[in-house]
Amino acid sequence: MSGISLPSPTVPVHTYVKPPASSSSSSPRLYPELVDIVIDHCHDDRGTLQALSFVCKDWLPSTRFHLFSQIKLTSHNYPTFLPLLTHPNSTLPHCISKLNLIQDINNEREWLNHLIPDLTILLPHTRSFTIVSGETKLTRNTRDALSKGWNGLTEISLKEASFRTFREFQDVMCGFPMLEGVELEGSWSKIGYGTGIGNTNAEYMLSWLPPPRTIPPGHPFAFAFGHDGYDLEGLSAHSHPRLVPSLPPRPSNTLIKLELTTCPTQDVLNWFMALTPIPLMKVLHLGHIISEEIPSISRYLRVCGDRLEELGLQPERQVQDILPQQIDLHSNTSIHTLTIDLSFCSQDFHTPLVVQILSQISRISLRTVTIIPGPLPSKVQTNHWSQIDDALSLFPYLTKVVVLTKCLPGGHGIMAEEPNLLRRCAEKGILRVGVRQKGTPF
């Protein structure tokens, strides 16, 4: 017995020790595709995205893609942000796809013209560009840098923009071959080549064409302007050497979204209707509509036909009683989203304007309606909203009715009267009432 060695009491005879597993299989891992889905779901939650970026290095690129996909530069913060872009180890330029440039009030005016050419080189992946330029006019060099450096832009938003001529705006809008959406809040002092801005009739638009001859019935020019006809094939550099360079420029064939607020809307729509084929929008928002613009708006809406899917209208007070009678939406049978902004309309015209516009919309296609009422009295007239409620109840496939107001929650006006206003919509569970936030249409 003394010659037999016993095993150590700490390691039983029957115990089997498994060799250590490799680090790759030490813990379960999600497929990268699933991780991206989870992170994409948090795209608008910066706090969560920041926490996820610290989980592991594999999650960092996806979180940075959302954290830095959109940036805002002002005259105050751009000097400190530029070093982050120009550092040799920086990876931010590959993440930034949406850029907002904001001109601060009472600040340096020319920083935009100095900065934009550099940004077009530093941020080659930019796809959406917003500029609030204030009183700053973009120089020709800046506009050229935009179109050459960011020819892959799909969205451009020009706010508080000021152009010397309408042609300057055309040059900007036509400089991006992949453009899908344009938002314009701006103005120009003249249109075309020296023609006064008030001259937006057929004579101005057809100044791009040779003298009247013949045109087949149904041609866009005959439909849009009612002229007898023009021989388009007779136009050549030999017969009209001075006229050919003046033919209207053409925006991107991919353009499907147009938002026009404080600008001469008729200039843009008449320009579109002077082109063959006419650019037809899927999304069209028209703000600050005045009487001079209604004929062009009416013609263009008819031209769009069933191509138009989303429409926004914001009439000024001077047209609140005539707009529904002078536009015809019966041919726009594909509209599924409608926004009516009554910010400038008096309370007495809210109901007839909304009801008359709704009566022209296809009952089969409409899914979402947004109403932005104007200034509300201390006591909302419930019977007026009941008429709107009745009109909305005729749309069987309506899934959402949104009412946005400037009233504070709990105060007087529509927020306090919500249960009694659009009762049928509330009973269906499709009513949403809230405070208008910055960034809503118009």
pLDDT per position as a tens digit, 380-411: 556 678 899 999 999 999 999 999 876 544 44
Cα 5 to chain centroid distance, Å, stands at 84
Residue type, 26: S
Residue 188 phi, psi (nearest 5): -145, 150
Nearest one of 305, 371, 304 to 337, comparing CA atoms = 371
Mean pLDDT of the 307-312 span: 97
Say which residue the tokens 């020009």 belong to: 158
pLDDT at 92 over 60: yes
Q: What does the pLDDT look like over 246-257, one tens digit per residue? A: 567 899 999 999
Q: Is 23 exposed, middle or buried (0-12, 13-18, 19+ CB in 10 A)?
A: exposed
Q: How confident is the model at residue 197 (pLDDT cuts 50, 70, 90)?
A: very low
Report the pLDDT value the prediction gives residue 420, as an integer from 0 to 100.
63
Report the pLDDT value the prediction gives residue 292, as an integer from 0 to 100.
92
Report the pLDDT value the prediction gives residue 242, as an integer from 0 to 100.
45
Report the pLDDT value the prediction gives residue 13, as an integer from 0 to 100.
46
Q: How confident is the model at residue 38 (pLDDT cuts 50, 70, 90)?
A: confident
Report the pLDDT value the prediction gives residue 215, as an integer from 0 to 100.
42
Mean per-residue pLDDT over the chain, rounded: 78
Residue 365 phi, psi (nearest 5): -90, -30
Mean pLDDT of the 365-371 span: 96
Pick from 117-131, 234-248, 353-367: least confident = 234-248
Report the pLDDT value the prediction gives residue 263, as an integer from 0 to 100.
86
What is the distance between the alpha carbons of residues 182 and 155, in angstroms, rounded to a whole number? 6
Three-state DSSP class for residue 284: strand
pLDDT at 237 over 80: no
* Gyration radius of the chain's alpha carbons: 29
Q: How confident is the model at residue 45 (pLDDT cuts 50, 70, 90)?
A: confident
Distances (CA, A) of 243 to 190, 211, 251: 19, 11, 20
Pick from 15-29, 118-132, 267-281: least confident = 15-29
